[in-house]
Amino acid sequence: MRKAKVKNQAQSWNSIKWVVNYLDQSSWWGAARWVHGIFFETKFAFREVVALFKLWKTMLLYKKQPFDYYGLNPSELTESQAMNSPVILLHGNGGNESNWLEMAKGFENKYDGPVFTVNLVKGNWSEKDRETIEQKLTEIKDLYYQHDIKDVKAHLVGHSRGATFAYFFSLQQNQWRVSEAEDFLGFAKHIEYYKQLKFRKDIDQVVSLGVILPKFHSYSNIMNKLHSVVSTKDLYTSEEDKLSAQKDKNSELVKDLSHCELILDKSILPLILSWINKPVKLVRDSVLSYKHLVLPRKN
């Protein structure tokens, strides 16, 4: 009787593993990780639900516009801010800019440059995402131009879906596009990119939370600008990606954080700052603007 019970349990676990493998091979990676987490990593599946609840709560409580909590999205720059690179934070799918509030507290105290947020489209990949980030970057450049600084390079920090889009936005515009192909649910299947990849001149470092570097990180001309933080207990990250992060010099594998905890935990900010807090600061344009120009006196 006991042997039969043990055999039935083993068959049940094997069935669950088969479901996980099937979902994984069918490109339903998120679903595969969740099924695995519920049955094999129950503690961290529960922690992920708690973290999601915290993010949803901030989305309900913090709706003020302009979204300027903790110094985010300044309408004008101080001299100190103008001499440091801006940071643009890109949230994950289903979220909004309020997801960054915990991280914003640390940025306000530990980063000298201005920090900005955007609200991306929910759901499938969209050209609207590109337009939203492009518009924000243009607004940021206008703020720096008021301090006679033209060559602005922004850092991108993304979480989950926002991290993936940050990578592709960092490429020159003619290097990639959102695929027109859709799956049976109507979601864009992937982002297409070309073989010869070049970084945009107005993007500096790109930091990903919860997403490993994509395949094009092997290109030496851009790989040193791309950085990833993934966790050993992230339900959305495959074991293969975790192993890759452990070996990759541009990635950091942290312990015992769920996917959404990566955007909430205080230990992540020092990693981000170690990549974006460069000693090189922005310099003013060598050509003086008209308001500083002194005309010669007529004799």
Neighbours of 38 (CB within 10 A): 13
Rg (C-alpha) for the chain, rounded Å, is 22
CA dihedral for 187, 25, 236, 196, sign (positive or negative): negative
Residue 15 has pLDDT above 50, yes or no: yes
Q: Is residue 282 a contact partner of residue 85, using CB atoms and an 8 Å limit?
A: yes
What's the pLDDT band for 208 if we cut at 50, 70, 90?
Answer: very high
Segment 266-277, tens digit of pLDDT: 999 999 999 998
Q: Is residue 208 a contact partner of residue 236, using CB atoms and an 8 Å limit?
A: no
Lowest mean pLDDT among 51-55, 98-102, 290-294: 290-294
What's the rounded Cα separation, in Å, for the pair 222 and 166? Answer: 13
Lowest mean pLDDT among 135-144, 191-200, 268-277: 191-200
Confidence (pTM): 0.80
The one-character DSSP state at 14 is H
Segment 58-76, tens digit of pLDDT: 999 888 888 999 999 999 9
- Between strands 203-209 and 154-159, the pairing is parallel
Tokens matching residue 134: 């492009």
Compute CA 220 distance to the chain's CA centroid, rounded to the nearest angstrom.
21
Q: How confident is the model at residue 221, as a pLDDT?
A: 58
CA dihedral for 227, 43, 101, 132, sign (positive or negative): positive
Residue 234 has pLDDT above 50, yes or no: yes
Q: Peptide bond before 66: cis, by omega within 30 degrees of 0? A: yes
